[in-house]
Amino acid sequence: MCLLITCEGGGNAVPASLQQGLRATSQSGKRTRRPSMPADLQGDSAARWAAERLSKQLGAPLIANEFSPHLVDVRRSLHHRSLFSTPCRQWSVEDRDVLLTEIYHPYREMVERKIDSMLNRYTYMVHLSIRSFAFRGPKGKPRRTDVGLLYDPSRNDEVDLCLDWIDEMYDQAPMLKVRRNYPGRGINDSLTKSMRGIFNSRPYLGIDVWLNRAWSSRHVQLRDEALDGLASSLRSLVLESNVESDSAAA
């Protein structure tokens, strides 16, 4: 087994070609006011920190999107209504195309190439896509879960991996409350879902790891201890899997 960690939403950069200003749009042949950048370009810093720490602890490669998710969401399919943020939907077609050609396509192609390379070298691989979620849901109800593992329940390998990982977390990260396919669903539109489609005939496992910002965004020792517990519990599974693979090969 090998691991790849990605973080799609942790950046805050803007393409250089857009920093000098946006093109004015037109409607019914009349020029309209020039659109603006999103007011907030800060990305998911909690997820970025977690992804970097997990990558270091596990010795796994990390691919992180450096551009702001408030421009274009590289997790989404091209047809998804939330591909562009609300301000960016008002941009000209040319400026939106810049987001696709300079951010969206290069990032997804880089992840796809890395997965393909790893699958050519290892028996199977696990892709962890890291993000965080707000403590309160859309209706203001508190989300009491610390970690959500999202996967496709029709894929037995992903089910088994998450069940085994949760068992290991009970021992090595007992401070964390973990739920499966919460606060989202693993079959919803996402980068891992797209990669499952591309590598459908190959041993690819795509897991979205969602971390509650109630703890993952706090600069305290408990946060790092929790992340290290996540890493050590997964490391145990990797070692166990590799031992079983070596035994089978012998």
175: nearest Cα among 234, 228, 235:
228
pLDDT tens by residue, 79-92: 999 999 999 998 98
Which tens digits make up the pLDDT trace of 164-205?
Answer: 999 999 999 999 999 999 999 999 999 999 999 999 999 999
Residue 196 exposed, middle or buried by CB count within 10 Å (0-12, 13-18, 19+): buried
Question: What pLDDT score was predicted for residue 21?
Answer: 67
Predicted confidence (pLDDT) at residue 121 exceeds the cutoff of 60: yes
What's the pLDDT at 32? 52
pLDDT at 138: 86
Q: What's the pTM value of the predicted model, to 2 decimals?
A: 0.91
* Residue 129, strand partner residues: 6, 208
Q: pLDDT tens digits, residue range 18-53?
A: 887 666 655 555 555 556 788 889 999 999 999 999
- Reported confidence tier of residue 111, pLDDT bands at 50, 70, 90: very high
pLDDT, residue 18, reads 86
Q: Give all domains of the chain, ordered by start, each with its CATH number.
A: 2-15+34-245 (3.40.630.40)
Mean pLDDT of 64-87: 96
Burial string for 84-114 (b: 16+ CB within 10 Å, else e) reads bbebbebbeeebbebbeebbbeebbeebeeb
